[in-house]
Amino acid sequence: MQLPNHVQWTDNATGTRRSTRIETDVLIEVQGEGFAYAGETVRVNLHGALIRTSAPLEIRTPVTVYVHRTGKSAPAHIVSVIHDTGSRYGIELDHSSNIWGVSTTPPDWKVC
């Protein structure tokens, strides 16, 4: 699947990230124990994403992230909460994977 034109790679030259972040909006569903909320990504990488959703999520909450355009899902958990111009959450995938449908990937997006 090709990336939209507005997608940007965020440089990982400092080596602080396990994989390069890519700015893209991907429609997702965040599912958990007794809930399912629509959302979208802000940035993705091989190990997780920054997402936007109206869900009232808490750090360490286990979730399943379903990506509509790929039909893929993966278990994850909430690692950060940002309440500024909307509810944004950092999620970490339990197992690194390109569930996002990014076809042109940075060199460090290699699944172990």
Whether the Cβ atoms of residue 76 and residue 66 lie closer than 8 Å to each other: no
- The confidence score (pLDDT) of residue 105 equals 80
Mean pLDDT by 10 residues, the chain (112 residues): 40 59 92 95 94 90 96 96 84 95 82 55
- The confidence score (pLDDT) of residue 13 equals 46
CA pair distance 26, 107, nearest whole angstrom: 21
- The confidence score (pLDDT) of residue 82 equals 87
Question: What is the value of pTM for the model shown?
Answer: 0.81
- The confidence score (pLDDT) of residue 109 equals 81
